[in-house]
Structure 1
Amino acid sequence: MLRRRESVPFAFVAEADRFRSNVTPPPRERASASQRFGSVLIGMTVVAGLVGSLLFGLPALDHTQSSAATQKSEAAEGR
């Protein structure tokens, strides 16, 4: 088996933790007021949708109310 003497092409990845750059990245742009308002509005819309689906879905999932209504209707039909 032949042995290669050259280094692995991606050997620099192993040395990445030792590398320090002297170039600082540019500062992040701050979001404008309209962008912040838009993200808050989207978040409130999502939360309102979840709360609304919970409020409309809970009565349909209530087992005691639906079984009582079924028993009353069956009793009324039997008369």
Structure 2
Amino acid sequence: MLRRREPVPFAFVAEADRFRSNVTPPPRERASAGETAGHWLVGLTIVAGLVGSLVLGMPALSQDQAPTQTQQSQASQGH
């Protein structure tokens, strides 16, 4: 692919990392109580979902040895 050999039309973009301003930006607005409560509620919902999936999924992931032993004992009795 051929590349063009022309200067960057916006030279200030290339020099943005070297530019330092003496103007301080305005301070950030603080979140209201409702927004903060909403963020906490979303976080708690996500954590509760993960914990609930672990609680419900652990029995399915556990290896239960009792049924396999009874199947083997029934098979050995039949022969």
For residue 19 of structure 1, what is the aligned residue in structure 2?
A: 19
- Aligned residues with identical type, % of pairs: 65
For residue 37 of structure 2, what is the aligned residue in structure 1?
A: 37
Residue type of the alignment partner of 1:24: T
Out of 36-45 and 7-16, give the one that drifted further: 7-16
Alpha-carbon distance, 1:26 to partner: 1.9
**Aligned pairs, how many?**
72
Alpha-carbon distance, 1:25 to partner: 1.9
Out of 34-43 and 13-22, give the one that drifted further: 13-22
Q: Which runs of 5+ in 2 are unaligned?
A: none
1:69 and 2:71 matched:
no
Give the secondary-structure state (helix, strand or coil) at the position aligned to 1:21: coil
For residue 28 of structure 1, what is the aligned residue in structure 2?
A: 28
Q: What CA distance in whole angstroms lies between the structure 2 residues aligned with 1:42 and 1:76?
A: 52
Alpha-carbon distance, 1:15 to partner: 2.2
For residue 57 of structure 1, what is the aligned residue in structure 2?
A: 57
Q: TM-score, normalised by structure 1?
A: 0.67
RMSD across aligned positions (CA): 2.6
Alpha-carbon distance, 1:23 to partner: 3.1
Q: Which runs of 5+ in 1 are unaligned?
A: none
Alpha-carbon distance, 1:34 to partner: 1.3
Alpha-carbon distance, 1:7 to partner: 4.9
Label 1:14 to 1:48 Cα distance change in 2 as closer, same or farther (>3 A): same
